[in-house]
Amino acid sequence: MTTRNPIFKVALIGEGGVGKTSIAVRYTEDRFDQQMKMTIGVNFATKKVQVENSEITLLIWDLGGQPRFQDVVMDYFRGSKIGIAVYEVSRSFTMHRLDDWISRLHSSVPNCDIFLVGNKIDERLPGMGVSLEEAQEYAKKYNAQVFEVSAKTGQGVPEMFNAVGKFLADRYVKPQF
């Protein structure tokens, strides 16, 4: 069978400070930086994901989340296949602010699928912030899968991106006959 290596654009979205850049860096470089610099504009990273018999490449767009950059980032959504919508599990407003980010993404790419990702689980205090159940309830309106991760420890990060890869392969990579 011919092996193809399709490339899919994946956009990280969410408030500044929730850990979008840290998640991308953890996944693509397997490191963590406690003093991550604020993202200005957009960063790119690529990584290959093996999904059963096919290898796909994720082109990860990491957009600056600061309000004054929002006009700039609009155009960058174009062509995204998945929006990874990131919130911080200890700060529930960062999850609710995702409505805004997702509607912006959808105004550019109406059918873009959403993954909901709660970051910084290493800092979670019992009974505080967003529970997994609350996130799953919130995710329903976007038909989104939910993952909880820590860019700091790496917990859940490869599993989340593997699920993204599997989702893309199931949806877009058809056997060639």
Binding residues (CB under 6 A) for ligand GDP: these are: 16-22, 33-34, 36, 39, 65, 119-120, 122-123, 150-152
User: Which option in Mg ion, ligand GDP, none does residue 55 bind, with CB closer than 5 to 8 A by kind?
Assistant: none
CB of 31 to ligand GDP, least distance (A): 11
Closest separation between CB of residue 41 and ligand GDP, Å?
12
Contact positions toward Mg ion, by CB under 5 A?
Answer: 20-21, 39
Residue nearer to Mg ion on the CB measure, 39 or 119: 39
Strand partners, 46: 59
Put the strands of the sheet holding 113-119 in their side by side order.
42-51, 54-63, 7-13, 82-88, 113-119, 145-148
Q: Which does 80 bind (CB under 5 to 8 A by kind): Mg ion, ligand GDP, none?
A: none
Strands 54-63 and 42-51: antiparallel
Q: How far is CA 133 from CA 13, 28, 97, in A?
A: 21, 29, 18
The residue to which tokens 């500044």 are assigned: 16
